[in-house]
């Protein structure tokens, strides 16, 4: 795959705003929005270049703006954006550390048509910025994940914008507390259909009761990591929100207390997605709860290890035929080959399977699946990180039989080699997310540039994890840069043959910002990159012949 002509043209325009006459008048709004995001992603909002950006791209017609991870986005930039009198429908600002209340308040106070607002990891933002948001007729989708925003800001937001139907707020270090949840429930009422308040450690039974009483149309709620509330709050929530379809109780350690409440047996039968990861629940309780959920299609049970092979047989014989997603990550004590065989026997419609960390598995249970073309074609995501006993032949069988795989995690597997990557590249053209971290076996099972290059040539990769693969060099990084323009993340720590210059080239060539982790202790300072004028290839000097 190569960069599209449209992207190449946009890149050329973006790099030459200072020399192309009246380009802003010729560009449609869609392309201005794309260019603005990409210039921020490539840190091109420098003091010298910013005037050209504001002159050509800042326009009253802008509808969507996204700034992510750019320290050049400052209050001055937001004020310039405000000066162009644009009425945004969508605004995303994340990890822009220089933004303060001053700039954000100036921009938000003039917006009257916002539909979607996302503020993430902005350490200098407080309640003052949220108090400026007033779009009572349009704002419906809000994510506020900033640690310095307290109850006052959230209360102002929901009071002034009562049509919000999707709300997400709070972080593990958030100043927002349990007291604001009843305010949100009361202000938004029947409009609220999605609520995400993960890691709100102070969340109490009282707040859950308030949600159940005020939000009858709630379809999705995520309470992951809220470890204070009990079944006394959860029961009224489940009773009041009878339309609930997605429920995440992961790591809510007290949610089932007291055990005599049998709260899981009162789950609404409308539920299609359920997460119970980390909960102290046994097989019998699980079976009684799940057998009622005839519409259940997604089930996450990460880290639950007190269920037996017999429990697994009984549970999945009843619900397996409807499941499309199953996550059994780190169920290493419960999930044996026999248990996995039962899972795959009954779960005939699986598209997404995660069994990472289940080190006892050999993978023999996959044989029947890969021999069934219909079921093999259904599989789009398979996560096997740490399943160390799985055999090379099973992995080859999966690669050659599952043509619609988009995500494959094989971290820590000693039998991953170039031959397997070649088969994945040849048979899985939709593959976009690959992890082979620390897959360093014996000489006969090693990953080198050759295997990864096969993937790069055949697949439009977006997320790549190759940390700890010592034979990978800059050759692969350059190939990623030239063939995977939509790459979003690369994890390459411990890859001593990859240089910092190669990483910089990758970041420059990709369309948007690439998240890279490349930590190399004692990297050889003499590794130098240069362009081969004969071939046009950017390569290491010590590897040129």
DSSP result, 229-290: --HHHHHHHHHH-TT--EEE-TT-TTTT-SGGG-GGGG--TT--EEE-TT----HHHHHHHH
Tokens 């102290």 sit on residue: 280
Q: Is the pLDDT of residue 375 over 90?
A: yes
Average pLDDT over the chain reads 94
C-alpha 413/C-alpha 426 separation (Å) is 21
DSSP conformation letters of 21-34: TTHHHHS-HHHHHH
**Interval 143-182: pLDDT, tens:** 999 999 999 999 999 999 999 999 999 888 889 999 999 9
Q: So what's the pLDDT on residue 87?
A: 98
Q: Is the pLDDT of residue 542 over 70?
A: no
The three-class DSSP label of residue 70 is coil
Q: So what's the pLDDT on residue 119?
A: 98
Q: Which of 252, 318, 310 is nearest to 281 (CA)?
A: 252
pLDDT-derived band at 528 (thresholds 50, 70, 90) equals: low
Of the listed ranges 31-35, 136-140, 186-190, 303-307, the one predicted with least confidence: 303-307
Q: So what's the pLDDT on residue 24?
A: 92
pLDDT-derived band at 390 (thresholds 50, 70, 90) equals: very high
Q: So what's the pLDDT on residue 352?
A: 99
Q: So what's the pLDDT on residue 172?
A: 85
| Mean pLDDT (whole number) for 240-268 | 94
| Mean pLDDT (whole number) for 534-543 | 64
Give the number of other CB atoms < 10 A from CB of residue 468.
19
Of the listed ranges 131-135, 316-320, 453-457, 536-540, the one predicted with least confidence: 536-540
Q: So what's the pLDDT on residue 174?
A: 86
Q: Is the pLDDT of residue 4 over 80?
A: yes
> Percent of the chain having pLDDT more than 70?
95
pLDDT-derived band at 526 (thresholds 50, 70, 90) equals: low
Q: So what's the pLDDT on residue 520?
A: 86
Q: So what's the pLDDT on residue 523?
A: 65
Q: So what's the pLDDT on residue 260?
A: 76
Q: Is the pLDDT of residue 94 over 90?
A: yes
**pTM value > 0.95:** no
Q: Which domains does the chain have, with CATH numbers?
A: 1-59 (no CATH), 65-176 (3.80.10.10)
Q: Is the pLDDT of residue 324 over 80?
A: yes
Q: So what's the pLDDT on residue 524?
A: 62
Q: Is the pLDDT of residue 535 over 80?
A: no
Q: Is the pLDDT of residue 444 over 70?
A: no
| Mean pLDDT (whole number) for 59-83 | 98
Q: So what's the pLDDT on residue 45?
A: 98
Q: Which of 108, 121, 60 is nearest to 515 (CA)?
A: 121
**Interval 222-245: pLDDT, tens:** 999 999 999 999 999 999 999 999
| Mean pLDDT (whole number) for 197-213 | 95
Q: Rounded to 10 degrees, what is the CA torsion of 82, 86, 90, 94?
A: -30
Quote the crossing angle between the two packed helices 231-240 and 205-214, to the nearest 10°. 10
Q: Is the pLDDT of residue 534 over 90?
A: no
Q: So what's the pLDDT on residue 442?
A: 63
pLDDT-derived band at 540 (thresholds 50, 70, 90) equals: low
């Amino acid at each position: 795959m190569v960069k599209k002509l449209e992207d190449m043209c946009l890149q050329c325009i973006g790099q030459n705003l200072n020399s192309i006459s009246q380009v802003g008048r010729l560009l449609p709004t869609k392309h201005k929005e794309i260019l603005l995001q990409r210039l921020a992603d490539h840190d091109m909002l420098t003091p010298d270049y910013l005037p050209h950006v504001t002159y050509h791209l800042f326009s009253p017609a802008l509808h969507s703006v996204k700034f992510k991870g750019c320290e050049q986005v400052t209050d001055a930039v937001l004020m310039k954006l405000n000066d162009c009198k644009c009425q945004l429908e969508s605004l995303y600002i994340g990890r822009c550390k220089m933004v303060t209340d001053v700039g954000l308040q100036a921009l938000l106070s003039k917006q009257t048509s916002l539909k979607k607002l996302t503020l993430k990891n902005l350490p200098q933002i407080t309640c003052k910025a949220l108090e400026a948001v007033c779009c009572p007729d349009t704002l419906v989708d809000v994510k506020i994940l900033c640690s310095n925003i307290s109850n006052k800001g959230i209360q102002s937001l929901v009071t002034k914008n009562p049509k919000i139907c999707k709300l997400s707020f709070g972080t593990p270090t958030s100043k927002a507390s349990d007291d604001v949840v009843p305010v949100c429930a009361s202000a938004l009422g029947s409009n609220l259909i999605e609520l995400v308040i993960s890691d709100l450690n102070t969340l109490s039974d009282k707040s859950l009761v308030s949600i159940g009483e005020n939000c009858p149309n709630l379809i999705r709620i995520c309470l992951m990591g809220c470890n204070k509330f009990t079944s006394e709050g959860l029961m009224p929530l489940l009773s009041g929100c009878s339309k609930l379809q997605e429920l995440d109780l992961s790591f809510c350690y007290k949610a089932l207390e007291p055990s005599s409440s049998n709260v899981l047996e009162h789950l609404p039968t409308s539920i299609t997605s359920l997460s119970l990861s980390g909960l102290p629940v046994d097989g019998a309780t699980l079976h009684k709860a799940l057998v009622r959920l005839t519409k259940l299609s997604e089930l996450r049970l990460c880290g639950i290890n007190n269920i037996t092979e017999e429990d697994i047989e009984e549970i999945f014989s009843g619900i397996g035929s409807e499941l499309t997603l199953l996550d059994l990550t780190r169920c290493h004590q419960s999930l044996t080959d026999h248990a996995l065989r039962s899972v795959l026997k009954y779960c005939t419609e699986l598209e997404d399977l995660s069994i990472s960390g289940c080190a006892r598995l050999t993978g023999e249970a996959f044989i029947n699946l890969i021999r069934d073309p219909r079921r093999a074609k259904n599989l789009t995501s398979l996560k096997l990180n740490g399943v160390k006993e799985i055999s090379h032949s099973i992995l080859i069988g999966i690669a050659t039989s599952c043509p619609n795989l988009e995500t494959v995690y094989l971290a820590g597997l000693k039998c991953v080699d170039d031959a397997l990557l070649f088969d994945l590249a040849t048979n899985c053209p939709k593959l976009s997310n690959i992890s082979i971290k620390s897959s360093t076996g014996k000489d006969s099972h090693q990953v080198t540039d050759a295997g990864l290059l096969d993937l790069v040539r055949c697949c439009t990769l977006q997320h790549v994890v190759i940390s700890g693969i010592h034979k990978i060099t800059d050759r692969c990084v350059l190939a990623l840069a030239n063939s995977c323009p939509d790459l979003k993340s690369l994890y390459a720590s411990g890859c001593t043959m990859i240089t910092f210059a190669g990483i910089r080239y990758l970041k420059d060539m990709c369309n948007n910002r690439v998240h890279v982790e490349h930590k190399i202790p004692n990297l050889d300072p003499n590794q130098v990159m240069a362009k081969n004028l004969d071939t046009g290839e950017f390569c290491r000097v010590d590897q040129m012949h």
